[in-house]
Structure 1
Amino acid sequence: MQKLASPASVLLIALLVGYLTGRVRSTALAKSTCQDECGSVTIPFPFGIGVGCFLNKWYEIICEGDSIKVPRLKKIGVEVLKISLPYSRNHGDMYTSPSGTIEVRLPIVFSNKKCISNDYRTGWAAPSLDGSPFVYSKDKNKFFVFSCHHQAVINNTGQVLAGCKSECRGANFSDSGICSGYNGCCEMGISSMVLREFGVNFMPEDGLTTGVGDECSYALLAKESWLRPKLTNLHDLKGEGFVLGVLEWGIPSNSSLEVRLSQSCQHCGKGSISVLPNAVHQFYCSPGYIGNPYVANGCQDIDECRDPLFSHCPGFCENKVGSFRCRDTTKLFEIVMRELEKATDNFNDDRILGKGGQGTVYKGMLSDGTIVAVKKSGALDEGKVKQFINEVLILSQINHRNVVKLLGCCLETEVPLLVYDYISNGTLYQYLHEPNEESPVSWEVRLRLAMEIAGALSYLHSATSIPIYHRDIKSTNILLDQNYQAKVADFGTSRSVPLEKTHLTTLVQGTFGYLDPEYFQTSQFTDKSDVYSFGVVLVELLTGQKPICQLRAEEGRSLATYFIISLENNCLFDILDHQILQQAEEEEVAAVAELAKRCLNLNGRS
C-alpha cells in the first residue's frame, strides 16, 4: 500500500483545493466572453480586444505579432505596456495605481541625424490625445533634456509651454543620477500643465531657433520613477530609442457606463481627472474591496487576513466584509459570572444555540458589544472537568483563522464556563443537509470550505508548538461564520501529542460514520485518523449525503464505503450532488475525489 504522511497530505489537499478554488474565484477584469490578455499585458474593461469587448473606439486594443504579442491603442497608435485600474488611495500602493493609468512607449527625440543611425527624430509631436478620455500624467511624467549646449522646449501648436537648458560645467549626471542643469542633464516637472498634445524642439542655448549644430542632444518625456534609476547608464536606452510614459484615463461624464456606475455600482468610489474641456471620471473599488468596478460585481471583498500587506495584524485576524478585526492573542481574559449572566439573560433557554455531550452553548453579548457563544458544562463529574481543562489548554495555544477562537473563561462557579467567538451561520452539517433552496451550496463554496478545513487540520498537526489531534472532525463540528468561512470547533476530546510520539492509545471516542476503522480496531489514534474523518467530510461536500444512511444497502450505509464502492465501479458522477454536476469541470471533480479516496485509505501507514 502507498504510504500516506498525514500532515503533508492535508497540506497537499489545502494547496490543490486552493488552486482549484483560485480558478473559479478569480475576479473578472474583462467582459466574460472577451480576451483579457495580450502577451503579458492584462486588458481590463473598459479596454478590450475585439467587437463588443471595449467601451468605445478610444478603448479598443489591437493585439499584434505572431510569437510575441504586442498590444496597441488602435485609435492613438501607441504600444501599451501596462493598464492599471484606479483604486482608493486608502489601500496604499500594493496592486494598482491610485489613478487609472496606461503605461506606453514614447520615442526619444534627438537633435540631429548623427545621433542615431536608425529612426532618428529632430522634431517630434507626441501622439495626440485630443478628444480622448486620456491625458499625459502630470504627476508621474517628467521632461528630461540631455545636452551640453542646447535647450529643449515643449510646445503646443507653435506655442512654447515650457522647457529647460542643459550645460556641461561639472561632473556628468551619470555619476550621480541627478540632473542639475549643469552636468549635461536638466529636468522639468509638468504638474502645471494639462498635456493632451504637444511637440518637442531643440534650440541653441542662446535662445535662437536655428543653428543647433552637430552636437548630439536628446530629450524625452518619461515616467520619473522608471527613468531615474537608469540615469547612470543610458547607453542601452538611447540605442532602443524609446522610453516609458504614462497616460491617465477615465470614462466620459454622462456616458451610459458612467451613469450606470454612478447609480448602481456596489462598493465603488468616484473621482475625476483634469482633461479639460472634457469631463472624465474614474471609478474605483472602495476601501476593503479590490477588483474592476467597470464590470458587474467587479469589486470583491479583500480578505485582509490572508494578506499581511493589508492587515498588519500581529494577533488574531478576523476578516469582515469590507474590513477586518485584529485582536490581541497573547492571553485569555477572565470574565466575571455577573457579566455572563447579563450577556445571556441568566442563561435563558431562548439563548440556547445547541446542546451536546459536553454541555449547552448560549448566545450572548458582552458589555463592549462583542457577540459571544458561552459553553456551560452540564455536569461536574471528573470526566467533564478534565474535558473542560483539556479544551482550555488546547485552544489557548491555537491561533488560526479557520479554528474557532476561545476568548476567555469564567472560574467563579463550580460549573466551568468557556467564552468563544460567536459563529453566526450554524454548522456545515446544516448547510449541506438542511439546505436553503434560495441559496444552494455552489461548487466554488464547497472547494473553499474544503481548503479551509484542510488548512486548519494541517496547522493543528504540524504548525502548533505541540501537535494536536482533534479526534472528532465531522460536519457538525465545523461552524460557518457570517462570510460562510469554516471554523473547526469542539476540542473537548482533542489531545496534544509529544513530538516523539506518533499515536495515542485511548478509549475509542468519536462519531460513527467519521471514525477511522484502523483507530476503531487498534485504539491507536494518529494524525491519519483525523485525515480519515476529513475524507468523510470531503465526500459529504462532493455528494451532499449524510455520513450514515439506513436507506442504502447494508454494505453502503457508511458514506465512506459507499463512495469507495462507487469509485471502483466507475459510478462517481452518479452519486455527486446535482449542484456539482451543473457547475464543476470533470477534471476538478476527479481531482478532489482522488484526494478523498487517499484520505479514506484504510491502511494509511503501510
Structure 2
Amino acid sequence: MIVGGSTTNNTNIAKPNCPASCGNVIVPYPFGIGTDCSLDDTFNLTCNTSNHESPKLFIGDGNLRIYNISDSELRIITFVSSQCYNQNGYVDGYTSYISIGSDMPLTFSTKNKFTVVGCDDFALISGRDYVYFAGGCYGLCREEVDVIDGECSGIGCCQASMPKGLKYYNVTLNTLNKHSNVLSFNKCGYGFLVEEGKFKFNTSYLSTDSSNFINMIRSTMPVVVDWVIKSNKSCDAVVNVCKGNSSCYDVEGGGYRCKCKDGYEGNPYLDEGCQETNIDLRSKSLNRCDIHA
C-alpha cells in the first residue's frame, strides 16, 4: 500500500527508469512525471525545476501544486479569496476559481472545510458535482473582544461542509458594511478551502497584513483531493491493472483502486510491487526453525 506520500517498500515506487520524486514529494505510480511514466494522461504530473528553489510538483501542466500523494488522496495548494477596505470603502481583492479538470480522475474531498475569516464578511462557494452546489457562511463580530482564539463558529470565523464529487469551485466574497465598523482591528475578509482540522483560528489573523495571511495559508494549509482510476468504470470492467499479490476494489461514487493483499505491502500497480512484509518473513523463518528443533 502507498502510505502518506511514500511507499512502505521503496524498491517499487515509480515505473522503471522514471523519477520517483520531485523535490521532497514522492511520486508513486500510477502517477508519473511525464506521460511515459504515468498510467495515462490523466495521471501525468509536472516537476518544475525552472527556478533556484526546491523543485515543485504540479497536477498535469497546470498551477495546482501537490504537497503529498497517498494511496487514495492528493494534498494540494489552496487559493485564498480576499477583499480589503479602508475609510473610503473597497481597496483591493482577489476572487478564486479552482478547477482540477473535467477529464482528471480527481475530485475535492469531503475532508475539506470552506472557511471564512473576517468580522464583516460572508462568502459563497459554488461548484458542480452531479448537480449544482452552493454553500457558504458568515464571519461576523462587532468588537475585537468578542472573538475567541480557536473557535470558528461564526464570530470572526466560520466553516461549512463540502459535498462529495466536486471537480471545481468558485468563491465569491462579500461584506455587509465594507468593514466600516471594524476597521480599527479588521480591514480584510478571506474565504478559502482547507483540510478539516488543519486551520486553527487565531484572533491575530483579523489584523494580520493581508499578504502575510494569504502566504501563510497557501504555504501551510492543504486541500484534500480524492483520486481514483477510470472514474467511469468498476473492477468488473478492467483486467491486469492490479498486479500480483494485490486486489481491486470499487470506490463509492465511481472508479476503482488497487491494494496489496493482507501480509503484503508496496505499490499494487507495479509488477512485483507488493512484497511480503518483514513480519511475515520473520514468522516463516521462525516456523522453519521450530520444525527442525
- Identify the TM-score tier after normalising by the shorter chain: 0.7 to 0.9
- In structure 2, which of residues 86, 110, 115 is the aligned counterpart of residue 144 of structure 1? 115
Q: Deviations over 1:101-154 (max 9, x none)?
A: 11111111102477xxxxx7532111243221000011x211110111211111
Counterpart among 270, 279, 287 of residue 249 in structure 2: 270
Residue among 143, 152, 159 paired with 1:187: 159
Check whether the contact 2:234–2:256 (CA below 8 A) recurs between aligned residues: no
Cα distance 1:233–1:272, how it changes in 2: closer, same or farther (>3 A)?
A: farther
Whether 1:248 aligns to 2:226 is yes
Pick 1 or 2: higher relative contact order, CA cutoff 8 A, min separation 6: 2
Distance 1:233 1:113, change over 3 A: closer
Alpha-carbon displacement from aligned partner over 1:527-552 (angstroms, at most 9, x marks no partner): xxxxxxxxxxxxxxxxxxxxxxxxxx
Of the three residues 208, 214, 217, the one matched with 1:238 is: 214
Q: CA RMSD in A?
A: 3.3
Equivalent residue in structure 1 for 2:34, among 44, 50, 55: 50
What residue in structure 2 maps to residue 131 of structure 1? Answer: 103
Amino acid at match of 2:42: W
Instruction: Report the CA distance shift for 1:54/1:262 in structure 2 as closer, same or farther (over 3 A).
Output: closer
Deviations 1:3-31 (A, max 9, x none): xxxxxxxxxxxxxxxxxxxxxx7431100
Pick aligned residue for 1:291 from 259, 266, 270: 266
On the 8 A contact 1:112/1:122 being kept in 2, the answer is: no
Note the C-alpha offset of 1:179: 0.7
CA distance in 2 between counterparts of 1:403 and 1:56 reads 44
Q: Runs of 4+ in structure 1 displaced over 4 angstroms?
A: 211-215, 230-237, 253-256, 262-265, 401-405
Does residue 73 (structure 1) correspond to residue 49 (structure 2)? The answer is no
**Equivalent residue, structure 1, for 2:276:** 301
Deviation, structure 1 residue 51: 4.4
Gaps of 5+ in 2: 1-8, 87-91
What amino acid maps onto 1:110 in structure 2? S
- Could you tell me how far apart the structure 2 residues matched to 1:231 and 1:287 are? 44
CA distance change for structure 1 residues 112 and 198 in 2, over 3 Å: closer, same or farther? same
Higher Rg of the two aligned structures:
1
> How far 1:294 moved relative to its partner?
1.0
**Which residue number corresponds to residue 106 of structure 1?**
78
* Alpha-carbon separation, structure 2, partners of 1:53 and 1:262: 15
**TM-score (structure 2 length as normaliser):** 0.75
CA distance in structure 1 between the partners assigned to 2:78 and 2:174 by the alignment: 21
- How much has 1:403 moved relative to structure 2? 9.9
Contact 2:81 2:94 in 1 (8 A): yes
Q: 1:38 aligns with which of 15, 18, 22?
A: 22
User: Within the alignment, does 1:281 sit opposite 2:256 as a pair?
Assistant: yes
Corresponding residue of 1:561: none
Relative to structure 1, the CA distance from residue 233 to residue 103 in structure 2 (aligned partners, 3 Å threshold; closer, same or farther) is farther
Q: Which residue of 1 aligns with 2:46?
A: 62
Per-residue CA shift, 1:551-603, capped at 9, x if unaligned?
xxxxxxxxxxxxxxxxxxxxxxxxxxxxxxxxxxxxxxxxxxxxxxxxxxxxx
Match of 1:339 in 2: none
CA gap of 1:26–1:110, structure 2 versus 1, over 3 A, is closer
The amino acid across from 1:136 in the alignment is F
CA distance, structure 2, for counterparts of residue 255 and residue 46 of structure 1: 17
What does residue 422 of structure 1 align with?
A: 291
Instruction: Judging by fraction of residues, say which structure has more strand.
Output: 2
| Aligned-partner Cα distance in 1 for 2:61–2:167 | 14
1:216 equivalenced with 2:192 (yes/no): no
1:75 is displaced (CA, Å) by 4.2
Residues 58-79 of structure 1, C-alpha deviations (whole Å, 9 max, x = no match): 2112111244211111244311
Alpha carbons of structure 1 residues 128 and 113: separation in structure 2 relative to 1, 3 Å: farther
Change (3 A) 1:281 1:143: same
**Greater share of helix residues, 1 or 2?**
1
For the 8 Å contact 1:269–1:283, the answer to whether it is kept is: yes
Number of equivalenced pairs: 259
Instruction: Label 1:29 to 1:179 Cα distance change in 2 as closer, same or farther (>3 A).
Output: same
Q: Corresponding residue for 1:202?
A: 173
User: Contact 2:248–2:259 (CA<8 Å) still a contact in 1?
Assistant: yes
- Cross-structure match for 2:136: 163
Matched to 1:422, the amino acid is: I
What is the distance in 2 between the residues matched to 1:109 and 1:102?
A: 22
Q: Is the 8 A contact 1:76 1:129 kept in 2?
A: no
The TM-score normalised by the length of structure 1 is 0.39
- Aligned sequence identity (%): 25
Q: Which amino acid aligns with 2:192?
A: L
Matched to 1:281, the amino acid is Y
What letter matches 2:199 in structure 1?
Answer: L
| 3-state DSSP of counterpart to 2:222 | strand
Q: Contact 2:100–2:167 (CA<8 Å) still a contact in 1?
A: yes
Query: Does the Cα contact within 8 Å between 2:248 and 2:256 map onto a contact in 1?
Result: no
**TM alignment of 1:481-492, pairs within 5 A:** none
User: 1:41, CA displacement in angstroms?
Assistant: 0.6
Unpaired runs of at least 5, structure 1: 1-24, 86-99, 115-119, 307-317, 321-400, 406-420, 424-488, 490-606
- Aligned ranges 1:443-462 → 2 under 5 Å: none
